Amino acid sequence: MAEEESYPLFETRRAKGRVIYTIFSLSLFVGILFIWVYRVSHIPREGEDGKWAWIGLLCAELWFGLYWLLRHPFRWNPVFREPFRHKLSQRYEEILPRVDIFVCTADPGIEPAVMVMNTVLSVMAYDYPTEKLSVYLSDDAASDITFYALLEASLFAKHWLPFCKKFKVEPTSPAAYFKSIASCTHPNNHVNELVPIKKLYQDMESRIENAAKVGQVPEEVRPKYKGFSQWDSYTSRRDHDTILQILLHGKDSSAKDVDGNVMPILVYLAREKRPQVAHNFKAGAMNSLLRVSSMISNGEIILNVDCDMYSNNSQSLRDALCFFMDEVKGHEIAFVQTPQCFENVTNNDLYGGALRVIYEVEFHGLDGLGGPFYIGTGCFHRREILCGRKFNDQYKNDWKEYKNIDHMKEGSLHELEEKSKALASCTYEENTLWGKKMGLQYGCAVEDVITGLSIKCRGWKSVYYNPQRRAFLGVAPTTLPEALVQHKRWSEGGFQIVLSKYSPAWYAYGLISPGLQMGYCYYNLWVLLSWPTLYYCIIPSLYLLKGIPLFPQMSSPWFIPFAYVILGDSSYCLLEFLWSGGTIQGWWNDTRMWLYKRISSYLFAFFDIILKFFGFSESAFVISAKVAEENVSQRYEKEVMEFGNSSPMLTLLATLALLNLFCLLGMLLKQVFISEGGLRIYETMALQVLLSGVLVLINVPVYQGLYLRKDKGRLPISVAVKSTTLALSACVLFIAIS
Ligand SMILES: O=c1ccn([C@@H]2O[C@H](COP(=O)(O)OP(=O)(O)O[C@H]3O[C@H](CO)[C@@H](O)[C@H](O)[C@H]3O)[C@@H](O)[C@H]2O)c(=O)[nH]1
Ligand SMILES: [Mn+2]
């Protein structure tokens, strides 16, 4: 036994090829230095054309170069983790800790109840002792339909859980499972039982969908369940008492599955909301869940998932425990983060939703520097640490200690509900440390990342666990505006962190490793990329139209560093993308999104931050859509870009796309009709032609959306008119004033 115990519960491997990477990046850095030197030493003299444009480019290039430096630490030491769950089982099966799972939902219109129930069912069916598992659904919409759906799900679960156990079902989300076996051709060994369970599921699904469609819980159901009476005092989504119902609990003898086994605890919670009290979005929901669950089950481990992120791997809970329960390293680990993966990403990933390089490369690198960020979903936490505990070396979790704690010795379920409700009232947090030092942090659009950072600053580590079989699968945005709005929220939140008390730039100094500090800055400074990128998309093209070079000509030796940096960096990014499982077309699409995020999401986030700073605008959380209309989905499947509305973001994108087209065409026309320098322009202005050319190529979907497409997903006529006028006038004005 002693020898047995000396084997760790997980293993850490380091990546190879770091030397080559280091040499390569050093060479690129030399190239960047040359570019800087060139810019500084060739500033046009007073009276010469383009002096200010030149200085602008210098600033942009300085910033790009510095930002580029930030991305290196987390490519130096990537690590890969491998848990050994059979060892966990051998050593700790009897004393596995209690686990509380939090699912958050906020809007039944955007997040359909059936989808949410699939997530709930999938996590209820983890391969784990059910008496130690509790699932909490937080509903920020306080929708009785969601409650009704959960009631239905709790009944269906009594069949579904034994079925999953018996046939080792994977994935345990019923919708995903039925879909996966529909596409598999060989007959299963459990056809006889499959048919009835599928029927049960479909019946439940149609009942929930009907209720959602008519916007009402069926008349006959209401009086049967006392829980619905809690809606009697409900006035609106933003104004209601706490609604809390324990739907399944070991104390209740009916909470057994069809085989007579105990079911996991299942709780519905809609925390109290009042119009005059800030509810702090998902962070507020999580903190209420933390308190309520401490009363009902008090699991030592907490798993948090978004309502679309169903469990795709029934073992991942045990895998995560291998990290926490490891005898040597486990005590330092605050949370275990899995990547966000998406079920609906198409082959060439038009909107870059898969975030491939982030999850396949960069997060492994962060793990080598002290641990990945907490990214809100698919994350396992230790309760105490999430609630504010500081690290100290002596701290060791004695898992055996918890063995026989029964949190519910006396009192009825009803009493338990009433006591728990008080913890979810909207005044509970007044004059407490919740949202500051306890629980999730308030006031930031990425509550998850800032909370993770504050945990790191208290001395803890985290682990990135990226299993072969995806742990969770969710829904990525399926339209361009949605993708852009999501990135706006993220970039805005990131910058709020830089400006916050926990700023990775200064507060974290000395508390986390310098590499990790740089990693946090790399992700949280997105907003500041908008201006230089915009500048690079506009100025060189306008000067191309006018015939003024801003880059070295091809025959100059200064051309070499530009060519080397451009080629070297793009090929490196391409390789990394392919290595992460992407396609070449996917990389091209990702590059387009890289551009669009910078010139729209980040820019608008920048303005929003300013507005908020001066008190002109309030925090908001724009929830990402999880379903799309039929024709939108069809276009998404075909990878046709979906614009569909006329937001200022799209007008800006279209204007910039057209501006580049006009500049390039204007330059070509000048060549043909005025024929100033003939082919010379390609020699003197090669890089500007290249830049405009690439911008035009990358914007092809925008031109199509403006002028060629007829379907509903195209850019509206109004955007076409506005952007064409704006782009043309910019070109004409620029030529005219000089
Ligand atoms: O007031 C709110 C708003 C949102 N949510 C829930 O938060 C989750 C995430 O919202 P979503 O619209 O899907 O945002 P994403 O951008 O996909 O989410 C990522 O980024 C968020 C921070 O911006 C994190 O909260 C998420 O966990 C993380 O997955 C969803 O389950 C929502 O139901 C709430 O519970 N209450
Ligand atoms: Mn989401």
- Together in a domain, 153 and 140: yes
Q: Is residue 266 part of a domain?
A: yes
Neighbours of 294 (CB within 10 A): 16
> In this structure, are residues 548 and 670 in contact, taking their beta carbons and an 8 Å threshold?
no
The Å distance, Cα 486 to ligand 2 centre, comes to 9
Q: Is residue 225 part of a domain?
A: yes
Residue type, 326: D
Q: Which atom of ligand 1 is nearest to the CA of 489?
A: 23
Q: Which atom of ligand 1 is nearest to the CA of 376?
A: 27
Nearest CA to 544 out of 659, 657, 656, 655 is that of 659
- The tokens 């491939």 sit on which residue? 356
- Together in a domain, 128 and 260: yes
Which amino acid residue places its CA nearest to atom 7 of ligand 1? 282
Give the list of residues 6+ apart from residue 416 with CB closer than 8 angstroms, or none: 246, 295, 296, 408
d(CA 698, CA 591): 8
Q: Which atom of ligand 1 is nearest to the CA of 286?
A: 35
Which amino acid residue places its CA nearest to atom 15 of ligand 1? 624
Interval 46-96: pLDDT, tens? 888 889 999 999 999 999 999 999 999 989 889 999 999 999 999 999 999
Whether 140 lines ligand 1, by a CB cut-off of 6 Å, is yes
Known catalytic membership, residue 127: no
Whether 488 lines ligand 1, by a CB cut-off of 6 Å, is no
Q: Is residue 690 part of a domain?
A: no
Whether 491 lines ligand 1, by a CB cut-off of 6 Å, is no
Q: What is the DSSP secondary structure assignment for residue 708, as one 8-state letter? A: I
Whether 608 lines ligand 1, by a CB cut-off of 6 Å, is no
Q: Is residue 533 part of a domain?
A: yes
Question: What are the backbone angles phi and psi of residue 301, rounded to the nearest 5°?
Answer: -110, 140
> In this structure, are residues 142 and 234 in contact, taking their beta carbons and an 8 Å threshold?
yes
Residue type, 95: I
Which amino acid residue places its CA nearest to atom 13 of ligand 1? 624
Whether 208 lines ligand 1, by a CB cut-off of 6 Å, is no
Please report the pLDDT score of residue 186 as a whole number: 61
- Together in a domain, 199 and 294: yes
Around ion ligand 2, which residues have CB less than 5 A away? Answer: 306, 624
The residue range of the domain holding 166 is 98-299+411-438
Ranges in the chain, pLDDT < 70: 1-5, 185-189, 401-410, 675-679
Nearest CA to 341 out of 171, 196, 215 is that of 171
Kindly state the tokens that stand for 184.
């598999």
- By most ligand atoms within 8 Å of CB, the mutation choice from 110, 282, 340 for ligand 1 is 282
Among 610, 627, 644, identify where a domain stops.
627
Q: Which atom of ligand 1 is nearest to the CA of 626?
A: 13
306 annotated binding-site participant: yes
Nearest CA to 218 out of 198, 203, 233, 235 is that of 203
Whether 489 lines ligand 1, by a CB cut-off of 6 Å, is yes
Neighbours of 566 (CB within 10 A): 16
Kindly state the tokens that stand for 501.
């008390």
Q: What is the largest CA-CA distance in the chain?
A: 93
The Å distance, Cα 50 to ligand 1 centre, comes to 46
d(CA 634, CA 640): 9
Q: Is residue 691 part of a domain?
A: no
Q: Is residue 397 part of a domain?
A: no
Kindly state the tokens that stand for 130.
């059910």
Whether 482 lines ligand 1, by a CB cut-off of 6 Å, is no
Please report the pLDDT score of residue 1 as a whole number: 44
| Ligand positioned closest to the Cα atom of 285 | 1
Nearest CA to 273 out of 150, 502, 106 is that of 106
Residue type, 378: G
Nearest CA to 531 out of 610, 447, 590, 591 is that of 610
- Together in a domain, 139 and 41: no
> In this structure, are residues 448 and 441 in contact, taking their beta carbons and an 8 Å threshold?
no
| Ligand positioned closest to the Cα atom of 106 | 1
Q: Which atom of ligand 1 is nearest to the CA of 623?
A: 12
Nearest CA to 290 out of 266, 269, 316 is that of 269
- CA distances for 625 relative to 307, 478, 629, angstroms: 12, 8, 11
430 annotated binding-site participant: no
> In this structure, are residues 530 and 602 in contact, taking their beta carbons and an 8 Å threshold?
yes
Known catalytic membership, residue 140: yes
- CA distances for 70 relative to 499, 523, 524, 536, 629, angstroms: 18, 9, 11, 20, 41
- Together in a domain, 135 and 214: yes
Kindly state the tokens that stand for 98.
């209690």
Q: Is residue 334 part of a domain?
A: yes
- CA distances for 4 relative to 41, 87, 318, 322, 558, angstroms: 66, 9, 19, 15, 63
- Together in a domain, 421 and 357: no
Domain count, the chain: 2
Among 627, 646, 674, identify where a domain stops.
627
The Å distance, Cα 624 to ligand 2 centre, comes to 6
- Together in a domain, 452 and 432: no
E strand intervals along 602-697: none
Among 574, 604, 627, identify where a domain stops.
627
- Together in a domain, 80 and 107: no
From 100, 139, 140, 144, the catalytic residue: 140
Q: What is the DSSP secondary structure assignment for residue 7, as one 8-state letter? A: S
Question: What are the backbone angles phi and psi of residue 696, rounded to the nearest 5°?
Answer: -65, -45
Which amino acid residue places its CA nearest to atom 4 of ligand 1? 282
131 annotated binding-site participant: no
- CA distances for 694 relative to 48, 608, 661, 700, angstroms: 28, 30, 10, 10
- By most ligand atoms within 8 Å of CB, the mutation choice from 101, 621, 622, 624 for ligand 1 is 621
- Together in a domain, 106 and 55: no
The Å distance, Cα 286 to ligand 2 centre, comes to 15
- Together in a domain, 293 and 371: no
d(CA 438, CA 452): 12
Whether 137 lines ligand 1, by a CB cut-off of 6 Å, is no
- H/E run at residue 538: helix 530-546
d(CA 581, CA 21): 19
- Together in a domain, 68 and 180: no
| Ligand positioned closest to the Cα atom of 483 | 1
- Together in a domain, 456 and 502: yes
Neighbours of 574 (CB within 10 A): 16
From 326, 448, 590, 608, the catalytic residue: 448
Whether 594 lines ligand 1, by a CB cut-off of 6 Å, is no
Give the list of residues 6+ apart from residue 98 with CB closer than 8 angstroms, or none: 132, 133, 134, 297, 298, 299, 300, 301, 402
Exposure class string for 175-191: b at 16+ Cβ within 10 A, else e: bbbeeeeeeeeeeeeee
Q: Is residue 712 part of a domain?
A: no
